[in-house]
């Protein structure tokens, strides 16, 4: 009964977020321009990544710098399973025969990428989840560096640092939108689940959580695996959106963009994860247009190049100055008025 009530009370959040994502897709569909389409696809992929990050970071409170490693694992699964066998033979001759012959559709590659990443999340997580605080964060970063080093050097299987091309490109926005919405629902379902609840309790008060019978490393591991799966699937789709992968596609750049989107949106909130992406990506897009030049009457107005990065940095600083816990903080979009209950004055006891 209590379970049912928590479901009913919180279902509005993923529904509102899905509606927002659908709205972005519809805009792209109506505009119908190829570059804009690509931008919206990028936004959906970022949503998948940031929601994947939220699933672990938001619920556990442990910052992970390593999740993009799982996207890397997923991206290469897409390369291994969808490129034409002939092309694979030249680029990655070391692949086992069954993998060499494999040619599966992109959505199956996304599922395979998610599964492969989840498996490695389980292996890495079994060790990492015993750590906490900054030690855990540094260890996740080490994991990212390890994966990057392996993929940059294992030339017979990953073509080392050169680009692996020939991944079938999927240009329709709908699969990406569906993936983003699925990620939102998975993240939501986890955070209201028994394990999600336990993990959030452990984030707030580890001692009291352990005294309430919560095995903290275990619930953290569950979140790590689920978020790894989301990242892996996202990585595979990312590969299909641009048609190629290199180890550095999935390294520091993507790590810091996705993390800053999560921080700006609000680490403890699923709505924050999605809004962080939508707001920052929209801002980047607007700045790009302005840099390219806009017609105002007879004259063309254009910002000098490089303003995009600076403006983005300024906006992020401003948001974090005035809302240090991100745009959403710990709260979610619920469709009702935001919960604005005032704390009872301590003196009234």
293 backbone φψ class: left, alpha, beta (φ>0; ψ -120 to 50): left
Q: How far is Cα 221 from Cα 126, in angstroms, rounded to an integer?
A: 7
Map residue 86 onto helix, strand or coil. Answer: helix
Q: How far is Cα 61 from Cα 258, in angstroms, rounded to an integer?
A: 16
Q: Which of residues 258-277 bind other proteins (CB under 8 A)?
A: 268
- Does 212 sit near other proteins (CB under 8 A)? yes
Residues 202, 181, 328, CA angle at the centre, nearest 5°? Answer: 50
Return the number of the residue (10 or 163) whose C-beta is nearest other proteins. Answer: 10
Q: How far is Cα 20 from Cα 3, in angstroms, rounded to an integer?
A: 27
| Other beta carbons less than 10 A from residue 280's beta carbon | 22
Residue with tokens 């792209």: 28
Between 214 and 243, how does the x/- string for binding to other proteins read (CB under 8 A)? xxx---------------------------
Stretch that binds other proteins, among 5-13, 36-44, 100-108, 138-146 (CB under 8 A): 5-13
Stretch that binds other proteins, among 65-73, 100-108, 165-173, 197-205 (CB under 8 A): 197-205
Stretch that binds other proteins, among 156-164, 195-203, 220-228, 282-290 (CB under 8 A): 195-203
Stretch that binds other proteins, among 135-143, 151-159, 207-215, 297-305 (CB under 8 A): 207-215
Tokens, residue 340: 């604005």
DSSP string, 29-81: HHH--HHHHHHHHHHHHHHHHHHHHHHHHHHH----S-THHHHHHHHHHHHHH
- Does 344 sit near other proteins (CB under 8 A)? yes
- Determine which residue in the list 9, 84, 171, 288 makes contact with other proteins, applying CB under 8 A: 9
- Determine which residue in the list 30, 33, 97, 194 makes contact with other proteins, applying CB under 8 A: 194
- Determine which residue in the list 127, 204, 292, 300 makes contact with other proteins, applying CB under 8 A: 204
- How, if at all, do strands 294-296 and 299-301 pair? antiparallel
Backbone angles phi, psi at 296, to 5 degrees: -115, 105
- Determine which residue in the list 2, 86, 296, 336 makes contact with other proteins, applying CB under 8 A: 2
- Does 207 sit near other proteins (CB under 8 A)? yes
Residue 58 CB, nearest approach to other proteins (Å): 10
What is the CA 81 to chain-centroid distance, rounded?
A: 22
Count, residues near other proteins per rule CB under 8 A: 36
Site residues (vs other proteins, CB under 8 A): 1-3, 5-6, 9, 194-195, 197-198, 200-201, 203-205, 207-216, 268, 330, 339, 341-346, 348-349
């Amino acid at each position: 009964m209590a379970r049912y009530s928590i479901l009913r009370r919180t279902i509005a959040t993923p529904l509102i977020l899905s509606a927002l994502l659908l709205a972005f897709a519809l805009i792209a569909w109506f505009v119908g321009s190829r570059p804009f389409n690509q931008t919206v696809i990028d936004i959906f992929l970022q949503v998948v990544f940031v929601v994947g990050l939220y699933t672990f970071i938001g619920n556990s409170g442990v910052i992970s710098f390593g999740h993009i490693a799982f996207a890397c694992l997923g991206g290469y699964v897409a390369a291994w399973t969808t490129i034409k066998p002939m092309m694979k033979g030249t680029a990655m001759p070391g692949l086992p025969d069954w993998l060499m012959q494999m040619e599966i559709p992109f959505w199956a590659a996304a599922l395979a990428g998610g599964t492969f990443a989840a498996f490695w999340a389980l292996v890495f997580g079994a060790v990492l989840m015993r750590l906490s605080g900054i030690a855990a964060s540094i260890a996740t970063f080490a994991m990212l560096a390890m994966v990057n080093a392996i993929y940059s050097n294992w030339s017979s299987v990953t073509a080392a640092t050169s680009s692996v091309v020939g991944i079938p490109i999927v240009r329709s926005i709908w699969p990406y939108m569906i993936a983003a919405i699925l990620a939102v629902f998975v993240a939501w379902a986890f955070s209201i689940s028994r394990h999600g609840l336990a993990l959030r309790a452990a984030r707030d008060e580890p001692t009291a959580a352990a005294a309430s019978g919560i095995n903290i490393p275990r619930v953290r591991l569950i979140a790590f695996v689920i978020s790894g799966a989301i990242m892996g699937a996202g990585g595979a789709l990312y590969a299909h959106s641009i048609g190629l992968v290199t180890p550095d596609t999935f390294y520091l750049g993507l790590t810091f963009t996705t993390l800053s989107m999560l921080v700006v949106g609000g680490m403890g909130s699923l709505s924050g994860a999605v809004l962080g992406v939508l707001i920052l990506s929209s801002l980047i897009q607007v700045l790009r247009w302005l840099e390219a030049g806009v017609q105002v009457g007879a004259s063309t107005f254009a910002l000098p190049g490089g303003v995009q990065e600076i403006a983005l940095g300024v906006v992020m600083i401003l948001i974090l100055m005035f809302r240090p816990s991100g745009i959403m903080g710990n709260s979610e979009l619920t469709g009702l008025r935001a919960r604005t209950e005032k704390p009872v004055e301590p003196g009234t006891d």
